[in-house]
Amino acid sequence: MSLLIFVREKKRFLQEEGLVVTFSSFIKGSNYGFFFFTVPRKLNGMKHFHEVHIINKRKGVDHVKVLFSFLFFFFLVNDTAGAPMASHAPAGLRIKEMARPNPDEFMQFDPIKRAEQQKIAYLTFDDGPSTNTRAVLDILDRYKIKATFFVMGHEEPYAMKGYEEIKRRGHVVALHCFTHDYSVIYRSKDAYLNDLNQLEAFLKKNFDLSSKLVRLPGGSRNITTRQASTQHVVPGIINELSKKGYVYYDWNVDSKDGDSPFVSEQAIIRNVLKGTVNQEHAVILLHDINSMKNTVKALPEIIEGLKAQGFAFDSIHEYSPQVQFK
């Protein structure tokens, strides 16, 4: 109890300094605990670590040196001591409640019937290019696999090279978003389309790239778009995308590498290979972000595991099965 009081006092102090503390519970084996970190107050409510990291970077905040260096405090309590401490966490801030929606609950899946009935895995990478892009591409080349990169509008030198490398090595460059700021993108249908148009103009001008393949930030159902004030926005976005000839893709296998910076290599592998067991066409969500080295480390074993399950690999094209949340 004294530790919990300390955490609350620390939260009060940080809020007085103009910061906000976000709590999450976690489970490790049979233990429970908390960790907290600071982010700018205006970003409170962001769902995932990678979303806060992206916006911090775009606003010039060095997450390694400043606020996102994680005022890292956590403790473990063995569950044999009674009710888990995680039960004291405020409602709505538990990892289970903050996680991405479970695709199995609302999946529309219309698989294309190929003559050989081959199981197909689609490796998709969101949020890049990053400093990890070249390593990801090297692994894909080693296995002679083509993937799909739902990119953002990054202008750093390493990112500019990343777009060129993705294109040069024959992978699909698809559209994600320019800013990844939910509070901006999902303000209205027009706000989303303005962001998408900005990304399209950036890719066309700098790399002569264009695409009609889209993935909405957070997927077509996420914590922001399910709120009462914004739940009407996504249907309008989807309708407009359809009228303009775009095809949007969600996923039916989530690696969960974007849930936290602490997701281990083995957890990422396990999440993917468990998620693909009953899939004929697996659209796999991964992330291409500077901080996510474990995704790169996990990739070879993911590929080997998928091959062992009988999957071939392909990038997403117009003929690909559409995997969309209901």
User: b/e per residue, 183-208, with b = 16+ CB within 10 A?
Assistant: ebbbbebebbbebbeebbebbeeeee
Of 124, 148, 129, 318, nearest in space to 207 by CA: 129
Rounded to the nearest 10 degrees, how much is the dihedral formed by the CA atoms of 51, 55, 42, 5? 50
Q: Provide the token pair at 300.
A: 């070879």
The DSSP string of 144-192 is T---EEEE----SHHHHHHHHHHHHTT-EEEE--SS--HHHHTT-HHHH
Residue numbers annotated as active site: 126, 287
Rounded distance, CA 152 to CA 60, Å? 16
Q: How many residues does the chain have?
A: 326
And the tokens for 309? 């399950």
Q: Side chain identity at 32, as an amino acid letter? A: Y
What is the distance between the alpha carbons of residues 51 and 286, in angstroms, rounded to a whole number? Answer: 14
